Amino acid sequence: MQVRLWDREQDYNTLVKWWTDWKFGTVPKECLPPDGIMVENDGEPICAGGLYIGVGTQFSFMEWVVADKRANKRDIHKALKMCIDAIMEIAKSKGMKLVYTVTKEKELHKRYVKFHNMILAETSVKTFLRDFDGNYSKDLHWISDDEQFKKQRKD
C-alpha cells in the first residue's frame, strides 16, 4: 500500500463516491482542508482523511476519514492505520501539539484509542454551525446527524 497527499481536485470524485456509498452526504470541495492523505493499494484508492491546521496555533482538526465501502476489510484496516498515522505525521511536521477529531462512528472510536494513542475527551457533545451566506445550510447532510438532518428538512 502507498500513502500520498490527497489532491482535492483529483481525488474529490472518489471521496464523493465513498461518502455517497456510506450515505454521509457530500462535503463541499471548498470546505475540505488542503492537507490530507489518500492510501492506495496497487493504484486503487482505499481510504482518505483530512487535517485542518489552526494557523497561528498548535491545534489541528482531523476530519472526513472515510474508506471505500467495497474494499477488503483487512485492507481497509491496514489502510486506515496508515492514513491516520500519516495525518498525525503531517500534524507533527507542521508543529501541531494537538489533533482533535469528532465522530459518531463507533469503529473509529475504538481505532483512535487502540491504534493511534488518542484519548476520549467528550462523550456527549452537540455541534453548531454558522453559515454566513446561506449557501451551505440548504443541504447540511454532510455535517449533520440523521436526527438534525430530518429536523432541518421539516423547517
Other C-beta atoms within 10 Å of 20: how many? 12
pLDDT at 38: 98
CATH node for 2-124: 3.40.630.30
Q: Cβ(79)–Cβ(39) under 8 Å?
A: yes
Here the contacts of 49-55 (C-beta below 8 Å, separation 24 or greater) are 49/83, 49/84, 49/87, 50/6, 50/87, 51/87, 51/90, 51/91, 51/99, 53/91, 53/94, 53/96, 54/96
Which residue, among 53, 77, 48, 52, has the nearest Cα to 65 in the 3D structure? 48
Q: Please list the pLDDT of the chain residue by residue as tens digits (155 residues).
A: 999 999 999 999 999 999 999 988 889 999 999 999 999 999 999 999 999 999 999 999 999 999 999 999 999 999 999 999 999 999 999 999 999 998 888 888 889 999 998 888 888 877 776 667 776 666 665 656 555 556 655 65
Model pLDDT, residue 51? 97
> Where in the chain are the domains?
2-124, 127-155
The pairing of beta strand 59-67 with beta strand 98-100: parallel
What is residue 145's predicted lDDT score, i.e. its pLDDT?
58
